[in-house]
Structure 1
Amino acid sequence: MATERLIPTETIIALDTVPIRFGLGATEELGYELDRLGIRRAMLVTDRNLRQFGLVEKVEGIARDAGVELEIFDHIHVEPTDVSLREAIEVARKSRPEAFISLGGGSTIDTAKAMNLFSTHEGELLDYINKPIGAGKPVPGPLKPHIALPTTAGTGSETTPVIVLDLLDQKVKTGISHRYIRPTVAVIDPLNTLHCPPMVTASVGCDVICHAAESFTARPYDTRPRIPNPAERPAYIGSNPIADLWSQQAIRWCATYLRRATYNPLDIEARSYMLLASTFAGIGFGNAGVHIPHAMAYPVAGMVKEYWPPDYDVDEPLVPHGLSVIINAPAAFRYTAAAWPERHAELAELLGVDTRGMPVRAAAEAAADAIQQLMRDVGIPNGLEELGYGEADIPGLVEGAMKQQRLLVGSPRPVDADALAGIFRDAMRYW
C-alpha cells in the first residue's frame, strides 16, 4: 500500500538554507567567496544611492582585487515591479555573467534573483509567478552563483527562496517562489546597515517581526496533505520544530533591539542583532511560510494612493513592504488567536509580555497588543486610514488579498473574503 494512503498528511520537514558569513567586517571576505566559487566575471546588482556611503566602491574594489571582471547594474526600483524587473532581466540576458553579487536591501537582492533566474532559464515573469496570478511553473534547475550582501535588516531576502514584485496593471503584489532561487551564499555585515535612517529601520524591522511571528503561527506542516512527489513540495511547508527555533529567536531579538536600532542609528549592538533577527526570520519563514498579514500587505502596497513614506528616497507614492505588512498584523493576529491560542500566547511571551497568571485566550490576544505597542513606539502609522485607505477600498483590498492563496493556505484559521473584509476593517485604526 502506498505511503500516502497510510499517512495522508505531510510527515517530512524539508529545510533548505544558505551558507552564511555573519559579523562586523564580513564584507572583507567577499573576495575569498568569489575565489572559492571560481567566479571570474560577475554582475554587481546594487542601489546607486549606496554610493554616497562608499559601499559600492568598497565591494567593487574587493571584487576586482580578487581578479573578478565586474559589470554594474544600479537601476533598482524600490519595491520591484514587473516593468523594472523586465528591464533588469533584459540587461542580464544580454550580458550573461557567470555570477551575480547583490548589494542592497530586499529590492536589490530580489532584482538580482530575477536577473539570475531569467538569464539562466527561458521564460517570462508570468510563467513562474505563483498561481492563480501566474502559471506557477517550477524553476527547471539550479541557477548561477549569487552572493548576497544585505544593507537593511528586514526582508531576509539573502536567505529566502522568493522574489517579490508589483504587477502594475493589476495593482497587486505577488511573487515567485522556489528553492533554487535562494542565493548561493550570504555575506552579512552589520556595518553595511549603519546608513539606514529611522523610518527605514523601523519599517524593515517590522517586516522581520511579521516574518517570524507569521511563520511561528503558521498552520503546522503535518496538517497539510502529503506530497507524493518531493519535487512538488512547496517552499513554504508550514510551522515545524526546525523553523520554529529560528523564528522564536528572531522575535526575541526584535522585541529587544528594534526600538534601539530605530532611534540610535549607530548602536552597533542593536544593528547587529536586528540583522541577525532578519537572517533568522528569513530562514524560519523561508521554510515555514507566512500567512494573513503578508497576503493583506500585497494589495495595500499595490493599491497605494498618495502615501509618501518618511525617510525613503522615492519619486512616487509608496507603502514600503514592511509597513504594508505590520499595518495589518494586530488585526490579523486577533483573528488567528482563536484557532491556536497556545501558540499565540507563546508569541506574546516572546514579544516580552508577562503572561504568568493569564488565561490562555487572554495571553493569546496579548500578542496583537504587543505588536500594536511596538508599532506606536517606532512611529508606524495608526492603521490603514493613515495610509489613505477607507471603507470604500475594502472590496479591492480583499480581492487582492484573495489572490494570495499560496500565503493564505498557511493561516492557522481558515479565511475567506468575508473574514478578510472584517480584518481589513479592524486594521483601519488601532488607537
Structure 2
Amino acid sequence: MSHASGSETVFTYGAPGLKFGAGASDEIGFDLSQYDVSRVLVLTDPGVAATGHPQRVAEQMAQFGIEARVFDAVRVEPTDESFEAAIAFARETGPWDAYVAVGGGSTIDTAKAVNLMTTNDGELMDYINAPVGKARAPQRALKPLVAVPTTTGTGAESTTICVLDVLALKVKTGISHARLRPTLAVVDPALTMSQPAGVTAAAGMDILCHALESYTARTFTSYDRKAPEQRVPYCGSNPISDVWSENAMTLLATSFRRAVQHGDDPAAREQMALAATMAGLGFGNAGVHIPHANAYPIAGQVHDRCPDFRPVGYPGEEAMVPHGMAVALTAPEAFRWTFESSPERHLRAAALLAPGHGYDGPDALPRVLADLMRDIAIPNGLGEVGYAEGDVDDLVEGAMKQQRLLATAPREVTAEDAAGILERSLELW
C-alpha cells in the first residue's frame, strides 16, 4: 500500500475487556476481585435503580470481601450540574478503589466523569473539549471502571468519551481521552428486556448511526501524519472498525424492528445488545460525524424551543429529545450529503440494512433509514419534535462547535452545508 508523502499510515485500536451474555452481570464481584479492590461505588439512575439490578450487582460483591455502595441519582441526559453532584458524592464518601456503572449511556458517562475527577486535579471545565472547555488531558491513571449497559444503544461501555449539557452555555459537549475508556464492559442482554419500545427505538438509532457514521467517516489515511502523542482516539475509518460496523448493520437488519415491536423476544434483545457492542467497538476508534454533531444542539436547545415535546417511553416531566433520536433526525439528509464521498460505502450500507431494497443512488440510504424510522415511530424530522425554520441558525451554530466530530466527516462541512442538512431535515417523508 503506498501513501502520499506526509499522509497518515498508522491507525490505532482500543477496546475494553468484554464479557457478554445472559447472566454476565452476576459475575461482577468475581471480576472486580481480580483487580484487588475493597471499596466500590455503583452508579445508576432512579429508573434503573427501581429494577433492582444495581442493588443486586452491589450485593453480590460481598462474597468477595468487597464493600459496595449505590449512588442512584444519575440524571438521564446529564448536565455539568448533575456531573458535579455525582463527583461531590464520590469525594464525600470515598476514596473508592473502583467504579461500576449500571445503566444507559448517561450513567456510564457520569461514572467516567466521576472516575476522572476523583483521580485527577482541577475543575470539570478543564477537561471538557475545546472550544467550550480547556481540553486538558488527565495526568494520572484512573481507577478500574466496569460498565454494565442496560440500554442497547450508546456504546458508552466501549468508548473514550462522556457527553454532557453545559447548562449556562446551552451546549452539549463532552470529554474525550483514552483514559476514560472503561476497563471492562459487562453486556448482559437480560438487563435490557424491560426497556420500553420508545427507548429501544431511540437507542437503537444511536447504534445504527454509530455504525453508519464510522463506516462513512474519512479514512485514517486521509489525515496528515501525526506524532504518536498527537493521535486522538477517533482516527477515521479503518479495516478493523469497518468489520465491527458491517457486522452491527447486519444484526440490526434482522433484529431492530423485532426488538421494538416484540420487546419480550430474547433473541432480538441479544442481537441488539451484540449490535450495540460491535458498533461501539467500531465508532470508539473510527469516530462519528455529522448526525452526532447536529444531535448536540438538537438535544441541548429543546428546553427553550420545544418545551412541549415528551418522548414516548422516557421518564420525567421535562422536555427532552433522547440522544439517539436527536442523532436520527438529521441522519437521512446527512448521508444524502455525504454520498458523493464514497458512493460504494453508502450503497453497501443500504444493502446490509435492507437487502433487496430496490433504491439507488444518493436516495438509497436515506430511504432505507426513513422506512425504518417510520416503522419504529421515530418522529418525522425536526418539525415533529417542535423545531421550525427560524431555529436553524442557532442549531447550525451549535453543530459547528462540534469540530472534534466534524473533523471526522468525509467532506468538509461549512455552516452553509450544515444549514442545508438541518433545513431539509425539518420533514423527512
Please state which band the TM-score falls in when normalised by the shorter chain.
Answer: over 0.9
Secondary structure of the structure 1 residue equivalent to 2:50? helix
Deviations 1:349-394 (A, max 9, x none): 11124378x7xxx344301111111100100000000111001000
Which deviates the most, 49-58 or 304-313? 49-58
Deviations 1:118-151 (A, max 9, x none): 0000122221111222111222232100111110
Preserved CA contact (<8 Å) 2:45 2:76: no
Secondary structure of the structure 2 residue equivalent to 1:379? coil
Deviations 1:269-321 (A, max 9, x none): 00001001111111100000000000000000000022111110123110000
Match of 2:226?
A: 227
Match of 1:82?
A: 80
Answer yes or no: is 1:268 the counterpart of 2:286.
no
Q: Which amino acid aligns with 1:393?
A: D
> What is the 5 A alignment of 1:93-104?
93-94=91-92, 95-104=94-103
Deviations 1:87-141 (A, max 9, x none): 1111222322111011001000100000000000012222111122211122223
Q: Which amino acid aligns with 1:321?
A: H
Which deviates the most, 44-53 or 29-38? 44-53
How many Å separate the matches in 1 of 2:49 and 2:290? 37
Match of 2:65?
A: 67
Answer yes or no: is 1:332 the counterpart of 2:340.
no
Match of 2:423?
A: 425
Report the number of matched residues. 422
141 and 6 in structure 1: CA distance in 2 versus 1, 3 angstrom threshold: farther
Match of 1:206?
A: 205
Preserved CA contact (<8 Å) 1:355 1:363: no
Q: Which runs of 5+ in 2 are unaligned?
A: none
Deviations 1:173-219 (A, max 9, x none): 11111111011101110000011010001000010000010000000
How many Å separate the matches in 1 of 2:405 and 2:238? 16
Match of 1:254?
A: 252
Match of 2:152?
A: 153
User: Offset at 1:421?
Assistant: 0.5
Answer yes or no: is 1:135 the counterpart of 2:134.
yes
How many Å separate the matches in 2 of 1:231 and 1:83? 32
Preserved CA contact (<8 Å) 1:46 1:76: yes
How many Å separate the matches in 1 of 2:106 and 2:357? 38
User: Offset at 1:243?
Assistant: 0.5
Scaled by the length of structure 1, the TM-score of the pair is 0.95
Preserved CA contact (<8 Å) 1:353 1:370: no
Preserved CA contact (<8 Å) 1:159 1:182: yes
Preserved CA contact (<8 Å) 1:334 1:365: yes
Q: Which runs of 5+ in 1 are unaligned?
A: none
Which deviates the most, 39-48 or 54-63? 54-63
Match of 1:390?
A: 388
Scaled by the length of structure 2, the TM-score of the pair is 0.96
User: Offset at 1:226?
Assistant: 1.1
Identity over aligned pairs, percent = 47
Preserved CA contact (<8 Å) 1:40 1:67: yes
Which deviates the most, 185-194 or 84-93? 84-93
How many Å separate the matches in 2 of 1:126 and 1:416? 27
What CA RMSD, in Å, does the superposition of the two structures yield over aligned residues?
1.4
Which deviates the most, 396-405 or 337-346? 337-346
Answer yes or no: is 1:354 the counterpart of 2:356.
yes
Preserved CA contact (<8 Å) 1:348 1:363: no
Q: 1:44 aligns with which of 42, 45, 56?
A: 42
Q: Which amino acid aligns with 2:296?
A: Y
Q: Which amino acid aligns with 1:141?
A: R
Secondary structure of the structure 2 residue equivalent to 1:101? strand
Q: Which amino acid aligns with 2:171?
A: V
How many Å separate the matches in 1 of 2:243 and 2:7? 22
Preserved CA contact (<8 Å) 2:171 2:301: yes
Match of 2:180?
A: 181
Preserved CA contact (<8 Å) 2:102 2:108: yes
How many Å separate the matches in 1 of 2:229 and 2:209? 28
Preserved CA contact (<8 Å) 2:214 2:236: yes
